[in-house]
Structure 1
Amino acid sequence: MQFNYAAQWLFIFGARASLVNSHQQIQKRDLATSDPFYPSPWMSPDADGWKEAYAQAKQFVSQMTLLEKVNLTTGVGWAAEQCVGQVGAIPRLGLRSLCMHDSPLGMRGSDFNSAFPSGQTTAATWDRGLMNRRGNAMGVEFRGKGVNVLLGPVAGPLGRMPAGGRNWEGFSPDPVLTGAGMSESIKGIQDAGVIACAKHFIGNEQEHFRQVGEAKSYGFNISETLSSNIDDKTMHELYLWPFADAVRAGVGSVMCSYQQVNNSYGCQNSKLMNDLLKNELGFQGFVMSDWQAQHTGAASAVAGLDMSMPGDTEFNTGLSYWGTNMTLAVLNGTVAAYRLDDMAMRIMAAFFKVSKNTDLDPINFSFWTLDTYGPIHQAANKGYQQINFHVDARHDHGKLIREIGAKGTVLLKNTGSLPLNKPKFLAVIGEDAGSNPKGPNACADRGCDDGTLAMGWGSGTANFPYLITPDAAIQARAIDDGSRYESILSNYATSQTKALVSQANVTAIVFVNAGSGEGYINVDANIGDRKNLTLWRDGDALVKNVSSWCPNTIIVIHSTGPVLVTDWHSSPNITAILWAGLPGQESGNSIADVLYGKVNPAGRTPFTWGATREGYGADVLYKPNNGNGAPQQDFSEGVFIDYRYFDKANTSVIYEFGHGLSYTTFEYSNIQVQKSDAGQYRPTKGKTAAAPTFGNFSTDLNDYLFPGDEFPYIYQYIYPYLNTTDPQKASADPHYGQTADEFLPPHAIDDEAQPLLRASGKNSPGGNRQLYDVLYTITADIKNTGSIVGDEVPQLYVSLGGKDDPKVVLRDFDRLRIDPGQTAQFRGKLTRRDLSNWDTVSQDWVISGAKKTAYVGRSSRKLDLSIVLP
C-alpha cells in the first residue's frame, strides 16, 4: 500500500493580498490578489435554524476518534465506491459512508429517475412555488437512491457571459432571481431529507481554463487555472448575493470552485471561504472541494475547506492531500485539532439538519455502470456483488416536469397565430423536433446535439427515463384534432422542406437549438462554452428559408441561453417565436401544451436577448492572455452584466430581461408604497466564543497504523491510517518537523475568540439579520383585461439613484393567476439589503442618500408604474 504526505503542505500561500478596489484598473501584468483571512471561523451552535442539529452533532462528534474524523472529511477516491463521491464510514457509531452525487437536474448515471428541466428553464417560470416543488421532487428521488448530498443548486456560474457553457445549470444572470431559485430549491431538497450543495463558489463563469489538465488536452499551455479577478463591491452586490440567500435558506454544504479568484485557488482561498462565506455570511454547514479542485493539504484546511472530494489528488492515483496526511498534520500540530473537530461538526450538523438519525437507507445504485452485478469498488475491480437494484424513484414527477416545462416556456413574439386551434395542416421542421436515432442517452453525459435538445451536457445531467419529442407530442394532438400532419426531421432537406411548407393552408413550426455544457466534453469545437451565439446545425438558414416560403411560420428555440435572432425575428412571415429552454423528459408535451393553449404562457426570459454578441459587454476568454501562467479574466464591468449593461450602454435589445407574452392582456394601475417601522441599522459587535474541541487523542503513532491483514486493503482507496511509525517516512516530506508557525500564514491556527464583522450576524446565517428587515411594501393592481384566464408576472425594480448604480435592479416578483375581468394585487417587499450598496471602506451595507424609486412592470424595460420611496 502507498500513502503520501509529500510537499503538498508547502503550497500554502494560496490566499494573497486584497480584493482589488472597484476603481482600480487591473492590468494584465498587475495581477489581482486576495487577502489572507485566518483563522477559519468555527461553527456557532446557537445559529438560527441549526441549534438542534448542532446538539446532535456535538453528541456524535464527541464520541469520534481522530481517525474517524479524518475518515469523515476525506473522500475515499475516484470510483472507490458507488457514488460520484463518498467519504469514509464510521461503522463503530453506525454511520455508513455518506454519498455525494450529481446533478442539479436529476440523478446522474442512474436509471429509473427523472430528468427535470434545467435551472435556467425553471427560473423562466418566475414561480417560487415551482422552484420549491422541483427541488423537493429531486430530493425525494435522490433520497430514494440512497444519496445524502445532492450536488446542486447552482449560482456559479451566475451567467456573466451569455456563451458560458454551464449557465443553464444555474438560474439567471440576475442575482435576485437566482437567489430565489437557490433558496427555494434548497428548502425543497432539504425538506426531502437530503443535504443541498450550493455551487460553484465563486466566480466560476466559464469553462475554458478552469483546469490545467483539461486545458492542456485542448492544446493550451498554461500552468495554473484561470483567475477571475473580482473587486469587493462587485463580489458583494452581484456574485455573493445568491449565495447569501442560499446560506439564509439553511443550505448544508457549499462546493468551492476550480478556478482562482484574484489569483488564489477557490478551494484554498481564505478570503472567500473563511471571511466571506463562514464569517460574514455565517455559513454553518461544510465546504467541499469540486472534484480535483483541491491543490494543497494544510493550506486548504486552514483556509476553510471541510471535505476533500473525491479524496485523491488526481483521479485514481491513490494519493491524497488529506487522509493519512491529515492524521499526521493534526498529530504534529500543523492543523489544529479544533479545525478537524470543526470540519466534523459542520458535516454532521448538516447531516442531522436533514436526517434525524444515522439509520440510513442503503445506496442502491452504482454511478459507474448500469449492470445489476459488478465490483462495488470499481477502480480496484473488487467486491463483486449486486450494485444496482434498479429502484424506481420517480413517483409521479413527470407531471411536475411537464408543468415546469410549459410554464417556463417564454412567448417572445406572437402576431396572432397562437394558440393553435385545430389547424388544417401542420408541418413540423427541424432536427430539434425529433429524437436522437441512437437513443436519448446515447451520448455520454449528453455530449452531442442529435435530436431535440432537452438538457445541456456534462456532470449536470441525468439519464432520460424517456424523452417525449415535440414531433411525437404535436403529432398526437394533430391526429386528435383531425389536422393533416407531416414532419421533416432534418435541417438539410431543403428541397423537400420547400415543397412541403409552400403548400396552401400550412402552419410551419420550425424547431432549432443551441447547446453547451461542461468543458471536459467538446461538441463541434464548443469546448463547454459556446463558440458563438448563433443557432446550431445551420438553424438560422433553416429559419430564414422556411419563413421565406411559408407566411405562417412559428419558431421554437431550445437553447442554453440567448441566441442571436437579429436577422430574422422581425420577418412578418414569422408569426410567433418561443423559447422553450431545456425542458427535460416531458419536452414535447410541455411545448404542445403552450402551442395549443392548454397552458397560457407566462414564462419570462431570465436573460436579455441582445442584437449582437458584442452588445453584452463581457465575453468568454477563449485564449490564454498571461503567457503560460494563469489566464487573467478581469471582471472590469463590475455589476453591469446582462440587462444592467444594456441599460448602462443605452443599447437597444431584441427582447429585454423579464419579457414574455400571454394569450390574454393585463393592465397595471394604482401603485402604492407603505413604509415599515424597521428602526435603524446596527452593525454587529462583539466576539465569538473560543474554538471548541471535543475530546483528547493519543499521540502514539502506533495507534494510527493500518489495521493489518485482518482489514482488507482496497487498491487506490484513501484511508486515514499510517503505514509506518516513522513520521518522516510516513510523510515523505523533506521538511517534516517544521512547526506551523514556520510555513503557515499568521493566525492560521489561532483558537481564541475572534471579532465579529459589522455585516455579519451573530448566529444569523445570511449576514446581519437587519439586512433582511422589510423597509417598504409596494403594492399594485393587475387586471386581466382579456377573455381567458392567465398568469401574469409583475416585477419590482428599484433605482438606487447613485451615479455608479445600474439604471434599475430587480428586487422582487410574483406570478399571479387572474381570471378574465378580475383584478389581483401584487405585493412586493423591499428589504434593507435591497436598497443598500456595499461600502468598501466600512465593509458594510449602506443606504445612500440618493433618491430611491420603485417600479412595477412587465419587464426590465416595460416599467408601467413608478413611485418615489419616502
Structure 2
Amino acid sequence: MSETTLTLDEMASLTAGASMWSTAAIPHAGIPSLAMADGPMGVAGPRVDERDVSLLTPAPVALGASWDRELVQRVGRLVGGEAIRRKVDLMLAPNLNLARSPLAGRAFEYFSEDPLLCGRLGGAWIQGCQSVGTGAVAKHLVCNDSETARDSMNAVVDERTLREVYLAPFEMAAQAGCAGMLTAYNKVNGAWCAEAGKIVRDVAKGEWIFDGVFMSDWFGTHSTVPSLNGGLDLEMPGPARFLGAKSAGAVVEGQVDLERVRDAAERVARTARRFGRDKGAPLPAAEASGLLVEAAAAGFTLVRNDDAILPLDPARYPRIAVLGPNASAPCFQGGTFAKIAVRPDALLPLDALRARFGDAIVVYEPGVDPQPKLPRMPARPARDVDGCTRGMTLDYFDNPDCAGSPLLSETRDTNSLTWFHGVHAAGALQQAAATRASGVVTATADGPHRFYIGGTGALRLVVDGVEVFRRDDQLAPGDVMGRLKSGDADCVTVDLRAGQVVTVVAELRYSPARCQGLWYGVRGPDSNDAMMARAVAAARAADAVVLVVGETSDASVESKDRVDTRLPAEQVELIERVCAANPDTVVVTNVGHAFDTRWECQAKAVLHCWYPGEEFGRALAQVLAGDREPGGRMPVTIACDDADYPALSLQPDANGDLPYSEGTRVGYRGLAARGIAPRQAFGAGFGYTTFALDGVAVAANGQDGWTVTVDVRNTGTRAGAEVVQVYRAVPELTLVGFEKVQLAAGETRMVRIAIERRRLQTWQDGWMDLPGSVELFVGRSSPDLSLAVQVNTN
C-alpha cells in the first residue's frame, strides 16, 4: 500500500516514536514498527544492566587505527547480526563526528580526526551492518564533536569547513546507503540541528539526494513547525512531544505543507519496510570471537620498538613481570549511555598473558589503584533472592522510606546502577520512591577502609549496623542527569580487622525524574606508596616488563569532556619509575584518545591498544608473543605539547558559541600548516616487518577521478601489513586516499589507490577543482611522504 492512501493522521503518527526505543506501526499499510538500540561498539540493551550481555567490539577509534575497510565492514556485519539476535532493527551507529580535540569526552567513539578515514570506515561499517538486514543510523549530524554544553552550545563553522570536514563523513554514509541519520543536540551557526534546514533539507536531502530517514537524538526536538520545515522526519523517543499528532495540526493550520508530512511518512515507512522484515543470521560464536581478536589486534598501534624487544621471546627474557592497573582492570570501552554489558568471563590481559607465556610470567603488581575513582564492592548478597552468590541484594520500594515489603528484589553484581523510565519490573520511576542495596563484605586486612556512596537523590550508608553517612537533600529534576553523569561519590572511613564480616547497606531516596542512579564501593587499607614500591621492585628483579596503563571507563564519558590530556599523575610516576628500574619495559596503553606521551622515550616499546573490546586479553597476548602483528596506524595526532593542537578547549563562550576557528586545519593538517612536528604522527605506526615503496604513477579513471599506483615490497622476514597513504599539499596537507595491503615476506605488489575528484576540490560557493597541476604525495604517514606524482585537474 502506498503512503498516498494513508490519512493525514496516519502519516502524522509515523513522525514520532511509539515508545522509548520503537517507531509507530500501521499494520494495514504493511508498515511494521522498528525496534532501535544504541551503538556503536555493540548492541546496547534498553536497560543499563550488567546481566544484559552483548558482544563488545573495539571502539571506533581502535577500528580507525586499523585503516582497514574490509575488516571494519566485517565488524559492522557482526554488530548487525548481534542486533538480529537481540530483535533490534535499527542501530544508532556509527558515530561520524570527528576527534577535533583530544579533550572530547567521546573521542573514543570517533573513527579519526580525518574526515576521509572516518567516512570511508563509517561507510564500510554501515554496509556490513546492513548486509544482514539491520539498518544503520549515522550520528550525530553535525558538529557534535564535543560534550560540554552539547544540548545548548552553538558550533560556529564557516561554510568551507562545514562542507569539506564535518559534513563529509555523512555524505559518505549517504553514499553507502545508510538507513538514516540522527541529528545532534547542539546548534550549528545558530540553528538547532533538528531544525537545520540548510543542512538536512538543502544539503542532505537536496544535494546528496539521500532518501533515508532523519530522526532527532533522544529528546533533541525543540519544535513542531521549524523541525518539520527544516526536514526532520521522526521525533524520538515516543510518545510525541512536538511531532506525531501535532504534525497533522500544523498541516491543518497551514504552517507545514501536506507534502512535507507525506515525505516524512514515506521515509519512515520505506525504512520500516526495508529493515523490519527479511533478516540474515548472527555470526557463530567461535567466528565472532575470532573476529573480535583479529579486529583488536589490527588496531594495536606500535609507535616504538627499540632493539626489536617485541615480539617478546621468553628465551631472551625468561622472567617477565606484568605490571600496571589495566592488566587486571582493563578499560574495554568508554562510558556512554550505549555502554555494553561485557560477558563476565571475558579474559583479562593478565590472565591471557599468563596463559600464553606460562612460567615466564613471574609476578603481577598493579603499582597503582586499578579503580582510582570508584572501587568495586566485593560483596555477597545480604539474602538469597535468586540464587546468585555475588553482588548486592537490591530492594525496590514504592515509597521514599523503604517501608513495608519491596515491590521487587534482585541481586546485582555491579557497583554502579542506572535506571531510566520503567527499566526494572517494579515499574516506571514517576513517584517518590527508594532503592536499598545490601550485602556482606569481608575485610581482607587490618586498618581503615574507605566506603563510597553516590546517587541522584537522598543517600544513606550503614556499615555493620552503624549509619556512617547521610544526605537528605533531594536534587531538582533538572540536576539529576548532571549528577548521574558526574559519578561523584562521598567517602567515609571505617576501621576494620582482617577477616571481619560486616553488612553494608546503601539507600537511595529519590523524587520523580527521567533517570536515577546509585553507586557505591569500598577500598582497603593498601597504600599507594606500598603498591608502587612492590611494582618497582618487581621490575628490577625481572628480565623484561609489560606495563599496562590507561584509563577506567569513567575517564571518557558521554556529556562530559576531559580537562587535560594527561594520564593520572600516579600512572606517569609508575611509568617513569618502572622504566628507570628496568630499561627493557614495554608500555601498553589502554587509552581511547590522543593523550600526553612525553614519557615515551623512557620505554623500550610503546603499544597503543585504545579501547579494544572484549577480546583485549587474547589479542594482547598474541601480539606480544608475535602470533599476530600489531596492525594499527595512528588515527589521530599526538602533539608534543597541548598548545600545538589546532583545537583544544571545548568550552563555549559566554554567548554559548563554540568557534571552530581552526577551520579546515584540524589535527595533523593544522600542525603541518604551522610547521610543527608531532610526537606521534597521524598515519604512523609499524608492525614486525619492514616495507619499501617505489614506482609511483597516476592515471585518470574517467570523469570521476584518478588511480594512483605504487609498488610495495615487504623487505622483512615475516608477513605483515602496510598502509599506503596519499595526500595533497594544498590548500593544506589533506589525506585523499589510502589502502591497506597484506604481504608475505619478500612479496612485491602493485597497490591501487582510488582518488575521487571530490578529494581534489574545495568549497567556494560550490565545489571547485584545485586549479592546474596538483602534486600528490605518497608514503607511510602524514610527515613520511617519500614519493610524489602530478595530477592535472583540467
State the TM-score, normalizing by the size of structure 1: 0.69
Judged with a 3 Å threshold, the aligned counterparts in structure 2 of structure 1 residues 138 and 342 are, in CA distance, closer, same or farther, namely: same
Counterpart secondary structure, 1:124: helix
Unaligned 5+ residue runs, structure 2? 47-51, 369-527
C-alpha distance in 2 between matches for 1:399 and 1:607: 26
The letter of the residue matching 1:116 is T
**Residue in structure 2 matched with residue 483 of structure 1 by the alignment:** 360
Q: CA deviation at 1:620?
A: 3.0
- The answer to whether the Cα contact below 8 Å between 1:206 and 1:620 also exists between their aligned partners in 2 is no
The superposition leaves residues 114-172 of structure 1 with CA deviations (integer Å, 9 ceiling, x where unpaired) of: 0111111011111110110011110111122221110001112x111111111211200
> Are 1:506 and 2:547 an aligned pair?
no
Counterpart secondary structure, 2:18: coil
Where in structure 2 are the equivalents of 1:255-294 lying within 5 Å?
Answer: 255-294=182-221
The letter of the residue matching 1:102 is D
**Residue in structure 1 matched with residue 226 of structure 2 by the alignment:** 299
**Residue in structure 2 matched with residue 811 of structure 1 by the alignment:** 736
583, 587, 610: which one aligns with 1:581 = 610
C-alpha distance in 2 between matches for 1:73 and 1:824: 52
Q: CA deviation at 1:64?
A: 2.8
**Residue in structure 2 matched with residue 717 of structure 1 by the alignment:** none
**Residue in structure 1 matched with residue 27 of structure 2 by the alignment:** 91
**Residue in structure 2 matched with residue 407 of structure 1 by the alignment:** 298
C-alpha distance in 2 between matches for 1:674 and 1:359: 42
Counterpart secondary structure, 2:614: helix
Counterpart secondary structure, 2:604: strand
Where in structure 2 are the equivalents of 1:343-354 lying within 5 Å?
Answer: 343-354=264-275
The letter of the residue matching 1:534 is R
Counterpart secondary structure, 1:538: helix
> Are 1:602 and 2:631 an aligned pair?
yes
Counterpart secondary structure, 1:570: helix
> Are 1:199 and 2:228 an aligned pair?
no
**Residue in structure 2 matched with residue 445 of structure 1 by the alignment:** none
Q: CA deviation at 1:68?
A: 2.5
Counterpart secondary structure, 1:584: coil
C-alpha distance in 1 between matches for 2:32 and 2:206: 31
Q: CA deviation at 1:351?
A: 3.2
Q: CA deviation at 1:612?
A: 1.1
**Residue in structure 2 matched with residue 136 of structure 1 by the alignment:** 77
Where in structure 2 are the equivalents of 1:537-616 lying within 5 Å?
Answer: 538-566=570-598, 568-571=599-602, 574-616=603-645
Judged with a 3 Å threshold, the aligned counterparts in structure 2 of structure 1 residues 778 and 518 are, in CA distance, closer, same or farther, namely: same
> Are 1:646 and 2:671 an aligned pair?
yes
The letter of the residue matching 2:689 is T
- The answer to whether the Cα contact below 8 Å between 1:101 and 1:147 also exists between their aligned partners in 2 is yes
Counterpart secondary structure, 1:837: strand
Q: CA deviation at 1:649?
A: 1.3
**Residue in structure 2 matched with residue 496 of structure 1 by the alignment:** 534
What is the aligned length? Answer: 622
**Residue in structure 2 matched with residue 320 of structure 1 by the alignment:** 241
C-alpha distance in 2 between matches for 1:795 and 1:186: 23
716, 719, 730: which one aligns with 1:789 = 719
**Residue in structure 2 matched with residue 21 of structure 1 by the alignment:** none
Counterpart secondary structure, 1:502: helix
- The answer to whether the Cα contact below 8 Å between 1:783 and 1:821 also exists between their aligned partners in 2 is yes
Q: CA deviation at 1:89?
A: 2.3
Q: CA deviation at 1:112?
A: 4.4
Unaligned 5+ residue runs, structure 1? 1-58, 79-84, 212-224, 313-318, 362-390, 435-450, 522-526, 679-772
- The answer to whether the Cα contact below 8 Å between 1:114 and 1:394 also exists between their aligned partners in 2 is no
The letter of the residue matching 1:825 is M
**Residue in structure 2 matched with residue 618 of structure 1 by the alignment:** 647
- The answer to whether the Cα contact below 8 Å between 1:107 and 1:463 also exists between their aligned partners in 2 is no
Counterpart secondary structure, 2:102: coil
**Residue in structure 1 matched with residue 451 of structure 2 by the alignment:** none
> Are 1:425 and 2:319 an aligned pair?
yes
Q: CA deviation at 1:516?
A: 6.8
**Residue in structure 2 matched with residue 664 of structure 1 by the alignment:** 689
388, 393, 397: which one aligns with 2:288 = 397
- The answer to whether the Cα contact below 8 Å between 1:267 and 1:289 also exists between their aligned partners in 2 is yes
The letter of the residue matching 1:601 is P
Judged with a 3 Å threshold, the aligned counterparts in structure 2 of structure 1 residues 360 and 475 are, in CA distance, closer, same or farther, namely: closer
The superposition leaves residues 184-238 of structure 1 with CA deviations (integer Å, 9 ceiling, x where unpaired) of: 0111111110111011000111101012xxxxxxxxxxxxx10000111001111
C-alpha distance in 2 between matches for 1:519 and 1:278: 34
**Residue in structure 2 matched with residue 469 of structure 1 by the alignment:** 348
| CA RMSD, 1 decimal | 2.1
14, 17, 27: which one aligns with 1:75 = 17
C-alpha distance in 1 between matches for 2:182 and 2:554: 18
Counterpart secondary structure, 1:793: strand
Judged with a 3 Å threshold, the aligned counterparts in structure 2 of structure 1 residues 393 and 330 are, in CA distance, closer, same or farther, namely: farther
Where in structure 2 are the equivalents of 1:356-395 lying within 5 Å?
Answer: 358=277
Q: CA deviation at 1:798?
A: 1.7
> Are 1:631 and 2:659 an aligned pair?
no
Where in structure 2 are the equivalents of 1:835-854 lying within 5 Å?
Answer: 835-840=760-765, 844-854=766-776
The superposition leaves residues 628-674 of structure 1 with CA deviations (integer Å, 9 ceiling, x where unpaired) of: xx411111110001100110111121110000012111111111122
- The answer to whether the Cα contact below 8 Å between 1:520 and 1:528 also exists between their aligned partners in 2 is yes
The letter of the residue matching 1:342 is D
> Are 1:799 and 2:729 an aligned pair?
yes
Counterpart secondary structure, 1:585: coil
> Are 1:864 and 2:789 an aligned pair?
no
- The answer to whether the Cα contact below 8 Å between 2:81 and 2:283 also exists between their aligned partners in 1 is no
The letter of the residue matching 2:310 is L
> Are 1:165 and 2:101 an aligned pair?
no
- Calculate percent identity across the aligned residue pairs: 30
**Residue in structure 2 matched with residue 822 of structure 1 by the alignment:** 747
Where in structure 2 are the equivalents of 1:115-194 lying within 5 Å?
Answer: 115-156=56-97, 158-194=98-134
- The answer to whether the Cα contact below 8 Å between 1:141 and 1:394 also exists between their aligned partners in 2 is no
The letter of the residue matching 1:346 is R
**Structure (1/2) with the larger strand percentage:** 2
C-alpha distance in 2 between matches for 1:659 and 1:76: 47
Q: CA deviation at 1:512?
A: 1.2
**Residue in structure 2 matched with residue 371 of structure 1 by the alignment:** none
> Are 1:228 and 2:122 an aligned pair?
no
C-alpha distance in 1 between matches for 2:568 and 2:207: 44
Judged with a 3 Å threshold, the aligned counterparts in structure 2 of structure 1 residues 677 and 452 are, in CA distance, closer, same or farther, namely: closer
Judged with a 3 Å threshold, the aligned counterparts in structure 2 of structure 1 residues 829 and 206 are, in CA distance, closer, same or farther, namely: same
Q: CA deviation at 1:430?
A: 1.2
C-alpha distance in 2 between matches for 1:854 and 1:460: 40
> Are 1:65 and 2:7 an aligned pair?
yes
**Residue in structure 2 matched with residue 17 of structure 1 by the alignment:** none
> Are 1:675 and 2:700 an aligned pair?
yes
C-alpha distance in 1 between matches for 2:177 and 2:555: 28
C-alpha distance in 2 between matches for 1:332 and 1:393: 54
**Residue in structure 2 matched with residue 438 of structure 1 by the alignment:** none
Q: CA deviation at 1:570?
A: 1.4
The superposition leaves residues 357-415 of structure 1 with CA deviations (integer Å, 9 ceiling, x where unpaired) of: x5789xxxxxxxxxxxxxxxxxxxxxxxxxxxxx9995731111110000110001001
- The answer to whether the Cα contact below 8 Å between 1:149 and 1:197 also exists between their aligned partners in 2 is yes
Q: CA deviation at 1:562?
A: 1.1
* Deviates further, 159-168 or 67-76: 67-76
